[in-house]
């Protein structure tokens, strides 16, 4: 099965998880880059607001051809309970090319958030697997159990 991981990150927590998934699955990997700068306090506040308002943003041109892959594993940080604008843009403009999908997030809070239902609704796809990890667990390198369950589901897809 040809698998591609695509992820967005603001402060590289999601990158750590994306690379760990790539290592375990052998999937190819590409980062989704937002042309808008979300750094600093202004970026934090603006990011929360933009996510809440379901804004789209300009993303850089993708290198990968999504339609070539059997499975897309899409990762992102949770912003205001939902997806960042770059991911909303990516899903909106590429959903027709996606055969199967899996989602992973990193987030400050410990509870599952509405992002997963938002992603299902926006993509129109039922994911083969879902994973959320807290920022703290990623930084402490303590996310192996959840990651392994996720990879089992990916491999069975």
Least separation in angstroms between residue 97's CB and ligand FMN is 24
Q: How far apart are CA 78 and CA 110, in angstroms?
A: 12
Q: Does 22 participate in binding ligand FMN (rule CB under 6 A)?
A: no
Q: To which residue do tokens 């996606």 refer?
A: 98
Span 34-63, contacts to ligand FMN by CB under 6 A: 44, 47-48
Would you count residue 107 as binding ligand FMN (CB under 6 A)? yes
* Strands across the sheet containing 130-134: 28-31, 3-7, 71-77, 100-107, 130-134
Asked if residues 88 and 122 have their Cβ atoms less than 8 Å apart, the reply is: yes
Q: Using CB under 6 A, which of 29, 32, 77, 83 touches ligand FMN?
A: 77
Burial class for 145, CB neighbours closer than 10 Å (0-12, 13-18, 19+)? exposed
Stretch that binds ligand FMN, among 28-36, 76-84, 93-101, 148-156 (CB under 6 A): 76-84
Closer to ligand FMN by CB, 99 or 136: give it.
Answer: 136
Asked if 11 interacts with ligand FMN (CB under 6 A), we say yes
Question: Minimum Å distance from CB 117 to ligand FMN?
Answer: 14
| 46's tokens | 């603006």
- The answer to whether residues 21 and 104 touch, using CB atoms and an 8 Å cutoff, is yes
What is the contact surface with ligand FMN in residues (CB under 6 A)?
Answer: 9-14, 44, 47-48, 77-81, 106-109, 113, 135
């Amino acid at each position: 099965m040809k698998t591609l991981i695509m992820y967005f990150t603001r402060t590289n927590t999601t990158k750590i998880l994306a690379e760990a998934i790539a290592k375990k699955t052998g999937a190819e990997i590409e980062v989704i880059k937002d042309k808008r700068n979300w750094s600093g306090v202004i970026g934090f506040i603006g990011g929360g607001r933009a996510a809440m308002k379901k804004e789209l943003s300009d993303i850089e041109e993708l290198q990968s051809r999504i339609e070539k892959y059997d499975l897309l594993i899409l990762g992102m940080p949770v912003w205001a309970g939902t997806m960042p604008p770059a991911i909303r843009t990516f899903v909106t403009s590429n959903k027709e090319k996606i055969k199967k999908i899996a989602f992973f997030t990193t987030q400050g809070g410990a509870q599952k958030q509405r992002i997963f239902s938002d992603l299902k609704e926006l993509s129109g796809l039922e994911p083969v697997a879902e994973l959320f990890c807290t920022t703290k667990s990623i930084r402490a390198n303590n996310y192996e159990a959840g990651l392994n369950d996720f990879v089992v589901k990916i491999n069975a897809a």
